Amino acid sequence: MLYLVGMGLGDEKDITLRGLEIVRKCERVYLEAYTSLLSFGLSNNALSTLEDLYGRPVILADREMVEQGMEQILEEACTSDVAFLVVGDPFGATTHSDLVVRARKMGVEVKVVHNASVMNAVGVCGLQLYRFGETISIPFFTETWRPDSFYDKIKANRQLGLHTLCLLDIRVKEPSIESLCRGKKDYEPPKFMTINTAIEQLLEIEETHAESAYNEDTSCVGLVRLGSEMQKIVSGSMKELLTMDFGPPLHCLVIVGKTHPLEEEVLEFYAMSKACINAENCRN
């Protein structure tokens, strides 16, 4: 059996009771470690914390393992119980449908244990989930690569009065361009997009397109470290949020569409003016 087990968003204790029971009985336990991270990271101490609670060794499954070594994991699941842990929900922000298809083609039975993900936890800011449009991802720009396919999706959402959840780039164990050119993989340090960088890129794309999908006065909500004790939520214009220091990852951003009075009332609790009472939170 292959079990896809959602871990939730905060720390090791966010796993469900059912998920914990399954993990403790599995012969092999893998942690998918490239589409998202728990709030306490993936250090050796963090892994030890997971292993202490789960009572099982935890094997990090990075991008290379998932993309190139998944056959080995599925072969193990043919003869034993294997748990594949996913931060959030297995079918949340990044789906693992391909893994399920490959498993079933090999005759491996799959069971899923769901959990909270950014896709529903974002509702904590007061915006109603059914008023969200298509979710987008914003990748890091480079000198030669500045993709803008998300722009039309934001524009379409806003024309319908819908909110847009923006998932921000995570780069973990990414080989550098220089090393690939040399035929040897040297990995760049982990890199996590901030809300500030996302807004800067969004405004750059708007300036290029000039179709008024949004502007620096457009209302947004910045959400960081969702589900953890260090969670922070700030609402304000793009221009205002650019001045905020949101701290460590993970970050996400919501571009607000047409609001209901109740949504506006809740957003007021997270207004930038209140968040900046402590001046240390704001950049000069």
Any known ligand binding at 221? no
Distance CA 180, CA 192 (A): 21
Any known ligand binding at 89? yes
Any known ligand binding at 226? yes
Any known ligand binding at 118? yes
The amino acid sitting at 193 is M
Sign of the four-CA dihedral 111, 116, 117, 123:
positive
Would you write out the chain's pLDDT as a tens digit for each of its 284 residues? 999 999 999 888 999 999 999 999 999 999 987 777 665 555 557 788 889 999 999 998 877 777 777 888 999 999 999 999 999 999 986 778 888 999 999 999 999 999 999 999 999 999 999 999 999 999 999 888 999 999 999 999 999 999 999 999 988 766 666 655 666 766 677 889 999 999 999 999 999 999 999 999 999 999 999 998 899 999 999 999 999 999 999 999 999 999 999 999 999 999 987 665 444 455 54
Q: 230 near 39, Cβ under 8 Å?
A: yes
Any known ligand binding at 237? no
Task: Concatenate the DSSP letters of all residues of 22-56 into one string.
Answer: HHHH-SEEEEE-SS---TT-SSHHHHHHHHHHHSS
Q: Supply the Cα-derived Rg of the chain in whole angstroms.
A: 20
Question: If DSSP codes are grouped into helix, strand and coil, which group holds residue 15?
Answer: coil
The structural domains of the chain, ordered by start, are: 2-116 (3.40.1010.10), 119-282 (3.30.950.10)
Angle subtended by helix axes 195-209 and 150-159, to nearest 10: 80
Q: 133 near 157, Cβ under 8 Å?
A: yes
